[in-house]
Amino acid sequence: MALAIWFPLAAIVGSRYEPVPRPPGAYSFVGIEKHAEGEFMYVIHFDRYSKLADTPEEPTRSPIMIYENDRPLGPAHSTTADIKSLGLGHYIHVEGVIYFSTSDNTDPRTNGRQYSWTIGPAKPDHAPR
């Protein structure tokens, strides 16, 4: 009896599922945190690639690109002041963290979009992990 209900229900629900797009080869962010109330800036701890981060000596060193669904955010290498006050997709990768804002200044934890990253531009010939 349960299977008689399950299969039609699964067909209906399954036919409506649409995966959130992300670029090929991109990795999803987890653990997004709000920096402070009244600001557009969010934080992701990103110790894994600290050696690639921007530094005062090399302010555009990081090759990390951030995506909102399948679209790149930017400009990269922004100041934290611009990320906090302007938002609109600005981001920076420094000292084991990424500070970023969404394209429309909404909360990335609740806006239903996927946030992901690549080292350099997304490569269509690499499958996501």
Per residue in 98-116, pLDDT (tens digit) is 999 999 999 999 999 999 9
pTM of the complete model beyond 0.85: no
Lookup: tokens for 80: 């934290």
Residue type, 57: E
Structure tokens at 112: 């239903």
123: alpha, beta or left? (left if phi > 0; alpha if psi -120 to 50):
beta
Dihedral of CA 112/92/34/129: which sign? positive
Residues of the chain with pLDDT under 50: 126-129
3-state SS, residue 96 = coil
pLDDT of residue 122: 79
